[in-house]
Amino acid sequence: MKIILLYGGKSAEHEISLLSAHSILQAIMYSVYTVQPIYITKDGRWIKGEVLDQPSLGDQQLILRSSDQMGWSDANTPSQGIEIAPGAIQEKDAIVFPVLHGPNGEDGTIQGFLEVLDMPYVGAGITASATGMDKIITKALFNQAGIPQVPYVAFTDSEWKLQQEALIQKVEGTLLYPLFVKPANMGSSVGISKVQDKKCLIEAVTEALKFDRRIVVEQGIQAEECEVAVLGNADIHVSTVGHLVKKQDFYDYNEKYVNNTIEMEIPAHLPENVIDQIQNYAKRAYLAIDGAGLARADFFVTSNYDIYINELNTMPGFTQFSMYPSLWQATGLNYRDLIEELLQLAMTRYHARRQLTQALID
């Protein structure tokens, strides 16, 4: 079977996608699969590379260029590709692995496109991808599922323009500094700021509005960050719980992915009943958004062991050292077998959907 690997994308998390794709390519069982790399550039061009039957040399090799972007001297470089229309990826007996993080990849757009092409794909469907990406919608669903969350205030760019002072009063009357200001539809801490006063709040909202028109302001709390990996379709499995060992209160995008200053403690040193509750909340959150394939559930745990869900990431970072595969490694499922399990879950879900569609036609 051929795996069509989609990576890159029109997203601020483009570089993370390259790292994830490179790691996946090192672990594919090439005795069973070939891989068709499809690189989506930052400006949305789809570049098709040569079919791979062995691992790539490095993540930079995955930055493909079409012939019109290269000089004649580059004609035989391994990064040469052909620009294609997105629909040209449609192929029988192929499965798509969309290793795309953030908007235009993890938010239901690619998933809807692949549904139209009638192709099996790894990960969550349209509903789970769209809701999992949107912090405001997930908060509403988690509240309905009875999963504790920190207090928050949400608003749009138009509301901010027309009612800025009223919104500031609402925020300061409802929440206490420090606060976290977040774009509703971004991941990997892109556009997120920690603020201590009104001046910083205004600056942080201005920054967040560069990434999304909808904003969430959350109550900051003294807590540890813990994460659990979820795997499955109807039959849901959860990993052991991991803990992010922080040397400072807040890590932005650069600290997480450029400077790589975050350490992971797996398993987390927590009481057994707390671990059980975190895992239970992770399953409930996964069901609440209609999850499928995989997700990483992120939580805050206070010194009193109060638990608050932060978010559910439907396509988490997938390097061999990322939290999601590391959690499964610690639980007894290695990286290569995890990829194989995700491929099988994708095929199972695809065939189940086709049976439902056929039943409706009949």
230 annotated to a ligand binding site: no
Q: Which of 17, 23, 188, 193 is catalytic?
A: 188
Q: Residue 73: is its pLDDT beyond 50?
A: no
Q: Looking at residues 176-188, what average pLDDT do you find? A: 87
Please give the DSSP secondary-structure letter assigned to residue 68: G
Q: Which of 13, 15, 106, 227 is catalytic?
A: 13
Residue 188 designated active-site? yes
Q: Which of 17, 20, 56, 322 is catalytic?
A: 322
Q: Looking at residues 65-84, what average pLDDT do you find? A: 64
- Dump pLDDT digits (tens) for 203-255: 999 999 998 999 999 999 999 999 999 999 999 999 999 999 876 555 555 55
166 annotated to a ligand binding site: no
Return the SS3 of 43: coil
Say how far apart CA 88 and CA 46 lie, in whole Å. 10
Q: Which CATH superfamily is domain 223-349 in?
A: ATP-grasp fold, B domain (3.30.470.20)
- Asked if residue 204 lies in contact with residue 195, where contact means CB atoms within 8 angstroms, the answer is yes
- Asked if residue 145 lies in contact with residue 283, where contact means CB atoms within 8 angstroms, the answer is no
Average pLDDT for the chain: 90
The identity of residue 97, as a single letter, is F
Say how far apart CA 300 and CA 303 lie, in whole Å. 10
- Dump pLDDT digits (tens) for 84-95: 999 999 999 999
Q: Say what the pLDDT of residue 261 is.
A: 60
Please give the DSSP secondary-structure letter assigned to residue 257: I
What CATH number was assigned to the domain covering residues 2-121? 3.40.50.20
Domain extent listing, the chain = 2-121, 151-219, 223-349
219 annotated to a ligand binding site: yes
298 annotated to a ligand binding site: yes
Residue 322 designated active-site? yes
Domain 151-219 has CATH 3.30.1490.20: yes
- Dump pLDDT digits (tens) for 276-325: 999 999 999 999 999 999 999 999 999 999 999 999 999 999 988 899 99
Say how far apart CA 123 and CA 121 lie, in whole Å. 7
15 annotated to a ligand binding site: no
Phi, psi (degrees; rounded to nearest 5) at 245: -85, 110
Computed on alpha carbons and rounded to an integer, the radius of gyration of the chain in Å comes to 21
11 annotated to a ligand binding site: no
Say how far apart CA 308 and CA 301 lie, in whole Å. 7
Residue 227 designated active-site? no
| CA dihedral sign of residues 10, 14, 20, 21 | positive
- What distances in angstroms separate CA 335 from CA 24, 107, 207, 274, 319, one per listed residue? 9, 25, 37, 27, 9
Phi, psi (degrees; rounded to nearest 5) at 72: -60, -30
Say how far apart CA 283 and CA 277 lie, in whole Å. 10
Q: Which long-range contacts (CB under 8 A, 24 or more apart) does 335-338 make?
A: 335/23, 335/27, 336/27, 336/29, 338/231
- Dump pLDDT digits (tens) for 102-129: 888 889 999 999 999 999 999 999 999 9
Element (H, E) at 211: none
142 annotated to a ligand binding site: no
